[in-house]
Amino acid sequence: MEDIKPQLFKITFDGIEVEVEPGTTIMQAARRIAEADASQGHLVPPAMCYYKPLEGSGGKCRACLVRVAQGSAKDTRPMPKLVPSCITQVQDGMVVENVTNPAVLEERKAIVEFLLLNHPLDCPICDQAGECHLQDFAYEHGSSNQRYEEERRTFEKHDIGPYIQLHMTRCILCYRCVYTADQITEKRVHGVLGRGDAAEISTYIEKAIDNDFSGNVIDVCPVGALTDKTYRFKNRVWFSKPVDAHRDCDKCSGHVTLWYRGEEVIRVTARKNEWGEVQEFICNTCRFEKKKTSDWVIEGPTKVVRSSVVSANKYRADTVKKPDFALRLANSQYKPIDDSRPFITDDETIRQLSIENNKKANERSLAENSNN
Amino acid sequence: MARKILLEHAHIAGIETFDTYRKNGGYEALEKAIKTMTPEAVVEEAKKSGVRGRGGAGFPMGMKWGFLAKPEGVPRYLVCNADESEPGTFKDHYLMKTIPHLLIEGMIISSFALGANKSFIYVRGELMYVIQILEKAIAEAKAKGFLGKNILGSGYDLELVVHPGGGAYICGEETALLESLEGKRGNPRNKPPFPAVKGLYQSPTVVNNVESIANMVWIINNGGEAYASIGIGRSTGTKLISASGHIRKPGVYEIELGLSVDEFMNSDEYCGGIREGHHLKALVAGGSSVPIIPARLVYKTANGEDRLMSYESLSDGGFATGTMLGSGGFIVFDETACIVRNTWNFSRFYHHESCGQCSPCREGTGWMEKVLHRLEHGHGHMRDIDLLVDVAKKIEGNTICPLGDAAAWPVASAIRHFRDEFEWHVTHPAEATKPGAVYMGEAVLI
């Protein structure tokens, strides 16, 4: 009997063709391209609120807005507005412009500005520095200018228990922690209060967050609003050494990352994938109470794939990318996509073509430099 | 006198009671629909009528009904959006308190057409006395067999629930309304899926404005084609306009679409003209969220044609020279109005009412309000004016729901048409901050 394969949708993302299953979002399609070729990782739209393991997340921060230049093969009209790539599903023949569209880059710059309006620029004293998604987002897509002259919003500090420090002033209202508590803990005692820029994450009458999986809200927070009280002010993240480890745990999978300073385990977190998303949520016992090497079976150094200062100067020197001026130049000279080209579907060919293209670009760049 | 469809019997004493309403032809449309028509035929009449949603967006109602998914074994809902809270708009409120049975009858007819056995009227919580009026009307209709089980012996059942909202402007946005109705925080949902596919309790749902639903009574009585013959072009039927501001006769008026703005503004039947001794300075034609237009574009379009009270004519030329009919909140400003102060006031409202879910709206509305506050209070810079235009542009079209647009349009349009007034506030801070001081530049007065 002949195998029945699901019909795949062909889409063009920034000029790169890819085939994906129906129901895939634009963001997931972009991630597929990056997974096939790591050098294209910068093409993946940034996500501040979207978090794949959390159902219903996404669509709020608007950091991942992209332009759909062609809705589908049947309806070739462009979509009138920019769309959030994290929740917009692909259609067959869809053409998406991400870094190849100046309007998208301009809006992304605006989103950085909006998010930083009320976010304190206290990176030097913030425990999230070095693994802050907003910091990365601002560096990659933002502007060095600041146009906001008004007083920033601040909040009273709330005590929400012994393990988690809530610093609401840094919150960007991504709702990830609310979804986490909703979906993986038995009783949610915190949520969003208030409205607009006065909205805040808070607990009901300063109640403590005390369930077994509450610590996961720390891992999903993209900024330094929810931090680990047992780790705060102990170390900068780039001075610590992450190591994969596991233990038998009756509450969770027990698969974690241990963060060492010298011989001492100073922090335990869930393991994250290359998109900074938790692979398996862990319990509070593993996170807060097991901080001796003898509690764990060590697997080896954590492979940090994502561009991060954690991996810089430690494992791979090339993981921190320089601003891609060539890409900006390409944006200004962008031409409409020639849709007559055949679709390339297999990952290996995409990877090979991408390597060749990058090689050619590098050679061109070197030649230009030597001429200058 | 112009033809009236909704307010035809509004002047009759006791029309809010079942008996008086019935004596004046009430519930005849329901009898006709339920006894002689199929649900599909009712939908067809709605389509033929060309009636457009009266909540502000102006989407054709029949077409919206046509999108309703009809999966087997899944309930369908009709939700009446009575959360009217846009500054300058108060027509639904008036309609519900004056002639509540018109809405109840419209709800029963529309629910029958859509196959809904449970429908909701989501009313703004502040309007508690309106809620009581509606609940009384529902009880009367139920007692007479026009609502509840086996309506008029047809076998069709309908339960009608009046639900008070918590008093948030954002709950007037259809998906936020549905969240609120489900008992959750009133945050708008990302679309798609649209409510017609997954709405209330994940079931197919139609959300319609009070006025849109009330129109169905006349449409069934007289036929969709008769309704379509009223009005002009694709703006069919009549429209309730809530007129306010510097006019002699503020109030709620029912007009035939296509009436000239000049006649509406200046005839004694309607607004009665600008208040004595003053000149028209600006107009907000469809509630505070639509772009403001200066006096020179109020009576004539940019092409020199008469400006009409219709969806097309008011929006003629896009936002460069036009505005929107919106929800019909007709706010008139004479030369004593300070455009900067007014824009700040509108901006303050949208900042306060933003739900805070998406970044451009949450942060941008507050930013605009603060800059406008500075400008109005004599602390602004020239660069702030362009900053406002830029921030408005970055918000517009990039938010989950249209509240971002509603916040951006008044600011962008005020600067587009009254930039010299904003500049005057920068260059004359001491004068601008005096009570009652307004910019009297020639360019903005007619």
**What pLDDT is stored for residue B248 in this prediction?**
96
Q: Does A208 have pLDDT greater than 90?
A: no
Q: pLDDT-based confidence at A360, cuts 50/70/90?
A: confident
Of the candidates A52, A16, A53, A7, the residue with the CA atom closest to the CA atom of residue A34:
A16
> CA-to-CA distance for B329 and B240, rounded, in angstroms?
9
Bridge-based pairing state of the strands A65-70 and A83-84: antiparallel
For B:391-420, CB contacts with A below 8 A are: 394, 397-400
Least confident of A7-11, A203-207, A272-276: A203-207
Using the beta-carbon criterion (under 8 Å), do B351 and A117 form an inter-chain contact?
A: no
Collapse the DSSP code of B235 into the 3-class scheme (helix H, G, I; strand E, B; otherwise coil) and give the result: strand
H or E element, residue A190: strand A190-193
Q: Does A207 have pLDDT greater than 80?
A: no
CA atoms within 13 A on the CB side of B249: 13
Query: Which residue of B351, B352, B353, B359 to mutate against A (max A Cβ within 10 Å)?
Result: B359
Q: Does A5 have pLDDT greater than 70?
A: no
> CA-to-CA distance for B17 and A233, rounded, in angstroms?
70
Q: Which CATH architecture has domain B18-229?
A: 3-Layer(aba) Sandwich (3.40)
Q: Does A250 have pLDDT greater than 90?
A: yes
Q: Evaluate the omega torsion of the peptide bond into residue B192 and state whether it is cis, within 30 degrees of 0.
A: yes
Using the beta-carbon criterion (under 8 Å), do B190 and A107 form an inter-chain contact?
A: no
Minimum-distance CB partner of A62 among B351, B358, B367: B358
Q: What is the ipTM of this complex?
A: 0.92
Using the beta-carbon criterion (under 8 Å), do A84 and B185 form an inter-chain contact?
A: no
Beta bridge partners of A245: A256, A298
| A358 or A96, which is more confident | A96
Bridge-based pairing state of the strands A226-228 and A264-270: unpaired
Q: Does A263 have pLDDT greater than 60?
A: yes
> pTM score, two decimals?
0.88
Residues of chain A contacting B367 with CB distance shorter than 8 Å:
114, 117, 148, 150
Of the candidates A89, A98, A46, A56, the residue with the CA atom closest to the CA atom of residue A71:
A89
Residue B103 distance to chain A (closest CA, Å): 32
> CA-to-CA distance for B221 and B30, rounded, in angstroms?
9
**What pLDDT is stored for residue B433 in this prediction?**
82
Of the candidates B184, B82, B87, the residue with the CA atom closest to the CA atom of residue B128:
B82
- Fold designation for A9-111: Ubiquitin-like (UB roll) (3.10.20)
Of the candidates A190, A186, A196, A156, the residue with the CA atom closest to the CA atom of residue A176:
A190
> CA-to-CA distance for A49 and A175, rounded, in angstroms?
7
Q: pLDDT-based confidence at A339, cuts 50/70/90?
A: low
Side by side, which strands form the sheet with A16-20? A16-20, A9-13, A95-97, A65-70, A83-84
Question: What is the tens place of the pLDDT at every residue in A277-320?
Answer: 999 999 999 999 999 999 999 999 888 766 667 766 555 545 54
Using the beta-carbon criterion (under 8 Å), do A118 and B363 form an inter-chain contact?
A: yes
**What pLDDT is stored for residue B443 in this prediction?**
45
Spans of all domains in chain B = 18-229, 235-334, 339-433
> Domain B339-433 class?
mainly alpha
Per-position b or e across B47-80, b if 16+ CB within 10 A of its CB = bbbbbbbbbbebebbbebbeebbeeeeeebbbbb
Region for B224 from its dihedrals, namely left if φ exceeds 0, alpha if ψ lies in -120 to 50, beta otherwise: alpha
Q: Which residue's structure tokens are 């509606």?
A: B134
Which DSSP state fits A293?
A: G
Across the range A201-210, mean pLDDT stands at: 77
Residues of chain A contacting B190 with CB distance shorter than 8 Å:
58-59, 84, 87
Query: Which residue of A48, A62, A86, A178 to mutate against B (max B Cβ within 10 Å)?
Result: A62
Residue in chain B nearest A146 by alpha carbon: B387
Using the beta-carbon criterion (under 8 Å), do A117 and B358 form an inter-chain contact?
A: no
Residues of chain A contacting B351 with CB distance shorter than 8 Å:
196-197
Question: What is the tens place of the pLDDT at every residue in B148-202?
Answer: 999 999 999 999 999 999 889 999 999 999 999 999 999 999 988 999 999 999 9
Using the beta-carbon criterion (under 8 Å), do B366 and A117 form an inter-chain contact?
A: yes
The whole-angstrom distance between residue A33's C-alpha and the CA centroid of its chain comes to 16
Using the beta-carbon criterion (under 8 Å), do A117 and B357 form an inter-chain contact?
A: no
Q: Does A226 have pLDDT greater than 70?
A: yes
List chain B residues with pLDDT less than 70: 1, 441-446
Q: Does A160 have pLDDT greater than 50?
A: yes
Distance, first Cα to last Cα, chain B: 29
Of the candidates A105, A117, A102, A116, the residue with the CA atom closest to the CA atom of residue A46:
A105
- Residues B88/B331, Cβ–Cβ less than 8 Å: yes
> CA-to-CA distance for A69 and A77, rounded, in angstroms?
7
- Fold designation for B235-334: Ubiquitin-like (UB roll) (3.10.20)
Residues of chain A contacting B370 with CB distance shorter than 8 Å:
150
For the segment(s) A118-133+153-233, the CATH number from 2.30.38.10, 3.40.190.10, 3.40.50.970, 3.30.70.20 is: 3.30.70.20
Residues of chain B contacting A196 with CB distance shorter than 8 Å:
351-356, 362, 365-366
Which DSSP state fits A342?
A: P
Residues of chain B contacting A198 with CB distance shorter than 8 Å:
356
Residues of chain A contacting B355 with CB distance shorter than 8 Å:
195-196, 199
For B:337-396, CB contacts with A below 8 A are: 351-360, 362-367, 370-371, 387, 394
Contact residues, chain A to chain B, C-beta under 8 Å: 48, 58-63, 65, 80-82, 84, 87, 107, 110-111, 113-115, 117-118, 147-148, 150, 153, 172-173, 175, 191-192, 194-199
Spans of all domains in chain A = 9-111, 118-133+153-233, 235-339
